[in-house]
Amino acid sequence: MMLRSNFLRLRDITWRSPSLRTIHLVVLCCSLVACHRTFGIPRDMVRDLPSLASVRTIYIDDLTHGENPHLVEGSDLVKEKIRQTLTQSGRFVVVERPEHADALLTGVAGFQRWYFGMESFFGLEGSLNTQYAGIGMIRLLDAKTKRPIWTHEYETGVFHPTQPVVDRVSKQIAEKLLSDASLAAQLSVPDHPVTESEPPRPIQ
């Protein structure tokens, strides 16, 4: 009984102190970062702009990457939102079969659930608070050679409480791909040569 009583008093001191609660949460967050998984996907960053400029059709693969759906959630929603954004842009055509594509968008994307509220783990009062961590490790592969053309890893930024995590993940992936594709198109256009009919440009 004395051991139980001392433990309860220690728990009250620890979890009723805002500063100590903050320290516990910081330690827990650091532990989650340390446990970050790569899901078997190479993390080498690739941005082959000349090859990206020639890509017109894309097939979007299953973005769970064979992971347990209870571990990586929302992959189907992220995939659909990426498809909608790429299609609406007019830059890419998203095809239904990989053999019809110039490139394959593959990897893992979605979110994971994390639970906070250590009281519940000790069987004491309190409740678990659910937090969602976005995941995105995407590779665009040449459809014939399977060589990486473009890669992106989801980057966490400013928290937007009103924006669903699947929207944040899909938006970042699609917009980054479109941005790099636009840059690739600009770099692939040769300089316009000066013809005889054009006046010489003044020297600045």
Q: What does the pLDDT read at residue 81?
A: 98
pTM of the predicted model as reported, rounded to 2 decimal places: 0.69
What's the CATH code, domain 42-188? 3.30.160
Confidence of residue 198 (pLDDT cuts 50, 70, 90): very low
User: In terms of C-beta density within 10 A (0-12 exposed, 13-18 middle, 19 or more buried), how is residue 74 classed?
Assistant: buried
Contact between 54 and 150 under an 8 Å Cβ cutoff? The reply is no
- The string over 32-68, giving b where at least 16 C-beta atoms fall within 10 Å of a residue's C-beta and e elsewhere, is eeeeeeeeebeeeebbbbebbbebeebbbbebbbebe
**Mean pLDDT lowest for which of 20-34, 44-58, 179-193?**
20-34
| Range with the largest mean pLDDT of 13-17, 88-92, 197-201 | 88-92
**Span 170-197, mean pLDDT?**
80
Q: In which residue are the tokens 């004395």 written?
A: 2
CB 149, CB 181: distance < 8 Å: no
61-84 residue pLDDT tens? 999 876 566 678 999 999 999 999
- Structure-model confidence comparison of residues 68 and 18, the more confident one: 68
CA proximity to 101, closest of 86, 85, 112, 117: 86
- Mean pLDDT over the full length of the chain: 76
User: Going edge to edge, which strands form the sheet with 129-142?
Assistant: 93-94, 57-60, 103-116, 129-142, 148-153
Question: How many H helices and E strands in the chain?
Answer: 6, 5
Q: How far is CA 153 from the centre of its chain?
A: 5
| 26-30, 76-80, 127-131, 195-199, range with greatest mean pLDDT | 76-80
pLDDT (0 to 100) of residue 199 = 47
Q: Please write the tens of the pLDDT for every residue from 108-167.
A: 999 988 766 554 444 444 455 777 889 999 999 999 999 999 999 999 876 565 678 999
Mention every residue, 6+ apart, whose C-beta is less than 8 A from residue 156.
133, 134
The residue-averaged pLDDT of 91-102 equals 98
> What pLDDT is attached to residue 91?
97
- Indicate if the pLDDT at residue 38 is higher than 50: yes
Give the Cα separation of 51 and 180 in Å (integer): 11
Collapsing DSSP to helix, strand or coil, 195 comes out as coil
Nearest to 75 by CA among 138, 151, 21, 147: 138
List every span in the chain annotated with CATH 3.30.160.
Answer: 42-188
